[in-house]
């Protein structure tokens, strides 16, 4: 059974520092990748029924080991608090009984979804009689580098298994105790169901050199998915020799149009910002149409009373609630700076700007968006359609919370991450996004002339 001990230090943003790969560590990563690759054909032979059975068994194993998982998680959070880890990072790190149950339910949902492997994307007879088909096949061995997100350990392992892939997990030092227990539980569940546990690999025990070796393991690892803060993601994108699917930070905007229904705007703004602040689909910038002053005042009042620190432009400052109407949790608003428009706070903070038009809102979003999720609240169908057409993001939302950009909410069971790139996968990455395609030609002796 593999352990996942790690000596990789992290700063408060959760960044994992990499260093030059060492030969013995490179060899260890390649060996584990080879073990995973050798175990993968077992999934193809097993077919959907056995894969679904092991996913359900994993879910039950998580429930049965909840006490051990939470004990390990308390150890991780205790170390984090002593190290001065930010509140947002500690929230990502936290598991409780409800969150463990959510992980188990995600695995069961995956078990109930169609198996993408073998699905025919297109096909039919060619003019020469050759029968052509393009079918989905696993990517192979998927590497994942993430930070302070023990839920990702389970999500990626489950998605990889159902889509027929092996997986190598690097979860970082912040969650080392939790990830060690989770990986052990998942591997033991594989053994219980007659599968090779090497389908799931952890490399936290290889420390910082293991990250560098994983990024350099071209040919051994088929694709690498980084998931975390901007520093981590950009480092992997810059330095990896393995093909990377870039998941993104979420500088998410919520635009309240002139025609926005007041209570809808309040409800959506509160949910988008305060439902869970430490996640990438939380709203970070609020844009208010100048003609929506009454609605804008109510939205700012609700956010202020909820305890959100607002970074406001001059026009928005004039709309803030009076001192007597702010509520006990209110924090004094501050003047917005240019830097605020590009900040992913991941906390109870939000930038606020009043715009003169839909055009100005779209222009602002185009300049500052990270391409993750953008939302509009409006009662104007034409404005909604323009927003959908002209805003370039992985997810565009009309009259609903930004928190719906999530694999579980969109029926994917779980997600590997939210891809903000435009090649192969975009938006929440589920089962299909961990497959590629193979062209199959069946002939009767045809030759090309």
For residue 428, which of 225, 165, 193, 127 has the smallest C-alpha distance? 225
Asked whether residue 12 carries a pLDDT value surpassing 90, the answer given is no
The predicted structure's pLDDT at residue 20: 63
Whether 274 and 310 have beta carbons less than 8 Å apart is answered as no
Domain edges within the chain: 23-248+430-438, 253-409
Asked whether residue 5 carries a pLDDT value surpassing 50, the answer given is no
State pLDDT tens for residues 97-155.
999 999 999 999 999 999 999 999 999 999 999 999 999 999 999 999 998 899 999 99
Asked whether residue 14 carries a pLDDT value surpassing 80, the answer given is no
Exposure of 78 by Cβ count < 10 A (0-12 exposed, 13-18 middle, 19+ buried)?
exposed
Q: Name the average pLDDT for the chain.
A: 92
Asked whether residue 338 carries a pLDDT value surpassing 90, the answer given is yes
The predicted structure's pLDDT at residue 249: 80
Asked whether residue 421 carries a pLDDT value surpassing 80, the answer given is yes
Asked whether residue 271 carries a pLDDT value surpassing 80, the answer given is yes
Instruction: Write the class of the CATH domain 23-248+430-438.
Output: alpha beta
Asked whether residue 3 carries a pLDDT value surpassing 60, the answer given is no
Higher pLDDT, 426 or 88: 426
CA 54/CA 60 separation, integer angstroms: 10
DSSP SS3 for 92: helix
Q: Could you please report the per-residue DSSP string of 271-303?
A: HHHHS-TTSTTSEEEEEEEGGGHHHHHHHHHHH
State pLDDT tens for residues 341-355.
999 999 999 999 999
Asked whether residue 412 carries a pLDDT value surpassing 90, the answer given is no
Asked whether residue 214 carries a pLDDT value surpassing 90, the answer given is yes
The predicted structure's pLDDT at residue 147: 86
Query: What is the residue whose two structure tokens read 């952890």?
Result: 202
Higher pLDDT, 172 or 363: 363
CA contacts within 13 A on the Cβ side of 95: 34
Maximum pairwise Cα distance, the chain = 86
DSSP SS3 for 122: strand
Domain 253-409 has CATH 3.40.50.880: no
Whether 233 and 226 have beta carbons less than 8 Å apart is answered as yes
Residue 131 token pair: 């029968």
The predicted structure's pLDDT at residue 244: 93
Of the pLDDT bands very low, low, confident and very high (cuts 50, 70, 90), residue 263 is very high
């Amino acid at each position: 059974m593999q352990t996942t001990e790690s000596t990789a230090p992290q700063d408060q943003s959760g960044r994992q520092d990499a260093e030059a790969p060492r030969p013995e560590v490179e060899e260890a990563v390649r060996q584990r990748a080879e073990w995973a690759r050798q175990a993968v054909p077992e999934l193809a032979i097993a077919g959907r029924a056995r894969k679904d059975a092991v996913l359900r068994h994993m879910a039950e194993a998580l429930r049965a080991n909840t006490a051990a998982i939470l004990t390990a998680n308390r150890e991780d959070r205790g170390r984090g608090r002593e190290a001065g880890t930010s509140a947002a990072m500690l929230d990502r790190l936290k598991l409780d009984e409800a969150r463990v149950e959510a992980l188990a339910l995600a695995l069961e949902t995956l078990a109930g979804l169609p198996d993408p492997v073998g699905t025919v994307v297109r096909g039919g007879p060619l003019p020469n009689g050759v029968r052509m088909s393009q079918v989905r096949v696993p990517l192979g061995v998927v590497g994942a580098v993430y930070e302070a997100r023990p839920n990702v350990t389970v999500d990626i392992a489950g998605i990889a298994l159902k889509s027929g892939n092996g997986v190598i997990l690097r979860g970082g030092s912040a969650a080392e105790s939790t990830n060690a227990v989770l990986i052990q539980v998942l591997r033991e569940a594989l053994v219980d169901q007659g599968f090779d546990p090497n389908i799931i690999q952890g490399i936290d025990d290889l420390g910082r050199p293991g990250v560098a070796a994983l990024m350099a393991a071209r040919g051994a690892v088929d694709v690498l998915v980084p998931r975390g803060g901007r520093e981590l993601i950009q480092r992997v994108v810059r330095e990896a020799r393995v093909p990377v699917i870039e998941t993104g930070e979420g500088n998410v905007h919520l635009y309240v149009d002139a025609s926005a229904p007041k209570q809808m705007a309040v409800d959506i703004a509160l949910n988008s910002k305060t439902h869970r602040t430490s996640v990438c689909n939380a709203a970070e910038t609020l844009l208010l149409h100048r003609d929506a002053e009454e609605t804008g005042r109510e939205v700012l009042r609700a956010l202020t009373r909820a305890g959100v620190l607002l970074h406001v432009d001059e026009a928005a400052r004039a709309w803030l609630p009076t001192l007597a109407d702010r509520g006990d949790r209110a924090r004094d608003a501050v003047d917005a700076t240019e830097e605020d428009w590009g900040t992913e706070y991941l906390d109870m903070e939000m930038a606020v700007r009043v715009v003169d038009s839909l055009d100005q809102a779209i222009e602002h979003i185009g300049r500052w968006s990270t391409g993750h999720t953008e939302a509009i609240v409006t009662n104007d169908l034409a404005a909604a359609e323009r927003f959908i057409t002209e805003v370039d993001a992985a997810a565009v939302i009309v009259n609903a919370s930004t928190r719906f950009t999530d694999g579980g909410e969109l029926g994917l069971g779980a997600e590997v991450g939210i891809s903000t790139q435009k090649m192969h996968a975009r938006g929440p990455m589920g089962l299909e996004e961990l497959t590629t395609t193979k062209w199959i030609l069946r002939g009767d002796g045809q030759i090309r002339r």
